[in-house]
Each structure stands twice: as C-alpha cells, then as structure tokens.
Structure 1
Amino acid sequence: MSENEGLMARIDRLESLDAIRQLPAKYALALDMRDSDAWVNLFPEDVKVGGGQTGRKALRDWFDETHAMQFDGTSHHIGGHIIDFDDPDHAQGIVYSKNEHECGSEWVIMQMLYFDRYERIDGRWYFRRRLPLYWYASDLNKPPIGDRKMRWPGVAPYHGSFHDLFPTWKSYWAREGRPHDGPVDPPAPLEKFIETMRRDAPLPRPRVRS
C-alpha cells in the first residue's frame, strides 16, 4: 500500500467511525419521537425482522405495533460506544443505553447495552443487527434488588442477559473474591477488543424490548 493509499484508508476509517457512532444516537431520537420511517432506514433494505419476514416495511409494522401497545413515551440516553472493524465495510460494537419509559401508572427505568453489527452499503453505514442485553427494568420507586431484574408492569420478572455475552462475569464470581491465577493476559489485538472479551461465548437470546 502506498503512502497516499494508507492516508486515504485512515481518513476513510475516521469517517466510518463517526458515521457508526451517530447510528445509535439517530436510533434513539427516531425511536423516542416515534418516527418509524427514520428508524427503519437505519437498517438495510433486506433487514431480518423475525417470523420469516424481511424488509423495512415489515420492521416498521413491528415498530408501530410494539410501541403503541407498550409505552406512552420513552427517552433513550446513549453511553459508551466501542467499535471494532472486521474489514473496511463491516464492524461490530457495544453501546450502553440508559432508558426511561412511561408505562401507564409506572415510570420504568432501564439499564442495558446493545451488541451491534454494522455494514456499509453503497457508501452508507447501517445496523445489520442489534442484540439488546438488559441488566434491569423497574419502576423508578422500586429498586431492582435481587434476581430477575427485568420487571415490567403486568409481566413476570425475568433475566435480561446483560452479562451473558461475556463469560468473565461468571468466572469472576466463581472465584469468590480470590485473586486471579496465572499471568495477566496480553492486550487485545487491534480491532479485536470485543472479540477477545467474548472468548467465543455464544450469543444469548433475550426478550426484545427497546
């Protein structure tokens, strides 16, 4: 690669980072303002919706039906965002999100993160997939102490899979506070921070709530 090609690749990477970082913020704004067209256009045309359905129209139908039934209003606050590139047109990311939901007589607060896959198509970055992982959801006046911290009105409490993507959570508590054996692992390779932390853990299958 020539010096000019290397410079152009670095500029492209910086522009891609900025475009990808804007995706979760656009997602939150479109969701909170109930602009379902803006929201589904953050995904590619062939987005998989579930139940064998694909496409933005099917995703928009799911969006409109789900949010009309569950929430009177929402606010999504985006936190830290880690991005690793698989190649110039594909990347993955971890995004923290702290959310508030008006659910009738209850005000439900939530802490979660997303495991994202991003893809650039015809010069534009999209979400290829968003996997939501939840720590808790509970009425503002009811701290979610104990197990099964996902506590929506009218729904039996359940586990939200917040820690299930990263096996270190279970191994840490399995040591019961004892020091870690062995040497410190070397730093993760460039663009492999998320993959290194995951240690080939399988993807969890949590319930989907925004």
Structure 2
Amino acid sequence: MDDAQAEILRRLDRLESRDEIRQLISKYSIALDMRDMDALAGLFLPDVKVGPDKSGRAALRDFFDDTMRKQFDGTSHHVGSTVIEFIDSENAVGVVYSKNEHETGAEWVIMQMMYYDRYRRVDGRWHFARRQPLYWYATDLNKPPIGSRKMRWPGREPYEGAFHALFPSWKEYWDRGGPSDAPVAEPAPLEEFIETMRRGNEVRGNRVR
C-alpha cells in the first residue's frame, strides 16, 4: 500500500469514526429517555469511573437507575450543536449541546446544558470514556431563569451551573468591558478547536452523567 492509499484509508476511518461517535451521542439520549439502563451502560467503557470510588458498567447502570427513579417521571434529551475532534486514531474529545425536558412531580423543568466528552475506541467500537455535564439553567417551564443561580430544581435551593466554566473566554469577555485591543489570534489547528478554546482549563465537582 502506498502513501496515497494509506491517507485515503485514514481519512475514511476518520469520517466513519466521527459518524459513529455522533450515533453514540444520540443513542445516549434515547437509552436514557427510554430507561434502558443496560443499553445506556453499554455505551461507556467497561471500566468507566462512577463517582469517587466506583467503576464499571454495573455501577454506572445502578447510578442512572437510582437517579432517574428518584428525580424524574419522564425525560427528553435533544442533542444540538456538536463538535468532535480527534486526539489520535483511538481517542477523541467532544462538546455537545443538550436541551432537555423533565417531568418531575407537579413541575415541568426545562434545561440547557452541554457535555464535555471524551471518547475511546476499544475493540473497533467507540465508547464514552467520560461525560462531564456543564449546566446553564434548569427551571420550571413557566418561570424564565433570569438572574443568577439559574439551576432551579423543585425542592432545593437555586445554585450556579458550570455552563461557561470550561472556557476562559466567557469571564475574560465580561472582565475587559469592551472590544479587545490585542491582535486577533491565529485560527485553531484542525482537530484542536475545543482544546484551543479550553486552554487547559478544567471543571471539577460535576459528576459524569
């Protein structure tokens, strides 16, 4: 096989992988909303970390089962803007917007959030290695979440989400008070848009869901 053929195969694999990961993301929403906890757990790596001291698909299945049973009568997760970038042929990262609806007792809670994902291919299939939820708001359908502490679930005090916390640009934008006088940065390299925006920033304390 010559270099040109190898490059074609590499690009074809990248296209197929990107499509498989998009399918993975959509399967997550369907499995979660239909409460198929086995199908949901199967989308993650076999040794997925669950909380501070548990791991494995069985532990993840139990976590989702308990969370969904206690908090929600029904849910619908709508996938929006999605960017997937490859670290190498077996690892990728992604940012996925999600607009969600939740029936929770007498209230109908809507939510806007994003996931910061890590994906890994094992035995020829792509899986979630990690899903980190970053929240903007959650509120009853009839109560617009104006102001601070936009996470407003029934039965608990409002609190701040972490929707903007992964990307330093949000705070910098408001801190500078006007247009920047710095030179325009060079466009991010291909497959590095997310990580260029993130600039190594981490968000701690949000559980993977």
- TM-score relative to the length of structure 2: 0.97
Pairing 1:203–2:199 present: no
Choose 74-83 or 50-59, whichever is displaced more.
50-59
Aligned counterpart, 2:43: 42
Aligned counterpart, 1:64: 65
Identify if the C-alpha distance between structure 1 residues 121 and 207 changes in structure 2 by more than 3 Å, giving closer, same or farther: closer
Between the aligned partners of 1:206 and 1:153, the Cα distance in structure 2 is: 19
Aligned counterpart, 1:32: 33
| 1:29 aligned counterpart, secondary structure | helix
Cα offset, 1:205, TM superposition:
2.3
Pairing 1:137–2:123 present: no
Structural RMSD (CA) = 1.1
- Contact 1:164-1:204 within 8 A present in 2 as well: no
| 1:201 aligned counterpart, secondary structure | coil
Between the aligned partners of 2:81 and 2:24, the Cα distance in structure 1 is: 13
| 2:11 aligned counterpart, secondary structure | helix
Percentage of identical aligned residues: 63
Deviations 1:68-116 (A, max 9, x none): 0000000000001101100000000000000000010000000000000
One-letter code of the match for 1:185? A
| 1:68 aligned counterpart, secondary structure | helix
Between the aligned partners of 1:150 and 1:116, the Cα distance in structure 2 is: 21
Cα offset, 1:206, TM superposition:
2.9
- Contact 1:161-1:204 within 8 A present in 2 as well: no
Q: How many residues align?
A: 208
Cα offset, 1:207, TM superposition:
5.7
- TM-score relative to the length of structure 1: 0.96
| 1:171 aligned counterpart, secondary structure | helix
Aligned counterpart, 1:75: 76
Identify if the C-alpha distance between structure 1 residues 127 and 120 changes in structure 2 by more than 3 Å, giving closer, same or farther: same
Structure 2 gap segments, 5+ residues each = none
Between the aligned partners of 1:207 and 1:111, the Cα distance in structure 2 is: 17
1:143-158 equivalences under 5 Å are 143-158=144-159
Between the aligned partners of 1:104 and 1:19, the Cα distance in structure 2 is: 36
- Contact 1:43-1:56 within 8 A present in 2 as well: yes
Between the aligned partners of 1:170 and 1:124, the Cα distance in structure 2 is: 38
Cα offset, 1:203, TM superposition:
2.4
Deviations 1:10-42 (A, max 9, x none): 110000000011111100000000000000000
Between the aligned partners of 1:199 and 1:110, the Cα distance in structure 2 is: 27
